[in-house]
Amino acid sequence: MSAAVLLDLGALDPALRLDGHLPECPHRHRPPDGCDWCLWAVEGAGVRDALDVIRDADTLTRDHDRRGGDVSVAWVVATGDLLDARSGEQLGASSPVPSVRELADRLGRLRDDRCRPLRRRLDSATAADGPVERRCLSTAGPLAAAALQRPEHREMRDRLPAPVRDRLDHATSLLSADTQTAGLLPSVEARHWDGLPALRTQTAWSRRRRPDPDRSGTGWSGSDRWDADRQEPGRTGPHEPARPAPGSLEALVVESVIDGVVDELAELGVDLAAASDPVAVPRPPSRTRMSERTRAMSWRIARIDWHLTYLDTGRAGGWPATTSVTPDGTGSVADLVPWTVALAIAEGERAGLVSATHTC
User: Tell me: the pLDDT tens digits for 50-68?
Assistant: 889 999 999 999 999 999 9
Element at 110 (helix H, strand E): helix 98-125
Position 235 scores a pLDDT of 39
Is 166 found in the same domain as 74?
Answer: no
CA dihedral 179, 183, 188, 193 (to 10 degrees): 120
Among 99, 125, 151, give the residue marking a domain's end: 125
Q: Which positions of the chain have pLDDT values less than 50?
A: 1-2, 4-6, 215-241
Position 25 scores a pLDDT of 85
Is 212 found in the same domain as 346?
Answer: yes
pTM of the model: 0.81
Distance in angstroms (rounded) separating the CA atoms of residues 76 and 84: 12
- In terms of C-beta distances under 8 Å and separation of at least 24 residues, what long-range contacts does 155-164 make, across chains too? 156/276, 156/339, 159/275, 159/276, 160/272, 160/275, 161/275, 164/268, 164/271, 164/272, 164/275
Is 259 found in the same domain as 168?
Answer: yes
Is 135 found in the same domain as 90?
Answer: no
Among 125, 143, 170, give the residue marking a domain's end: 125
- Kindly give, in sequence order, each residue whose CB lies less than 8 Å from that of residue 85, ignoring residues fewer than 6 positions away: 201
Is 155 found in the same domain as 62?
Answer: no
Is 113 found in the same domain as 7?
Answer: yes
- Domain extent at residue 20: 3-125
Is 263 found in the same domain as 120?
Answer: no
Is 202 found in the same domain as 181?
Answer: yes
Strands (E), 25-167: none
As for how many domains the chain has, the answer is 2
Q: Evaluate the CA torsion angle 290, 292, 294, 297 in order and state its sign.
A: positive
Is 116 found in the same domain as 229?
Answer: no
Is 169 found in the same domain as 60?
Answer: no
Among 125, 146, 162, give the residue marking a domain's end: 125
Is 307 found in the same domain as 216?
Answer: yes
Is 135 found in the same domain as 118?
Answer: no
Exposed, middle or buried, 124 (CB in 10 Å: 0-12/13-18/19+)?
middle
* Bridge-based pairing state of the strands 358-359 and 279-282: unpaired
Determine contact, residues 53/86, Cβ cutoff 8 Å.
yes
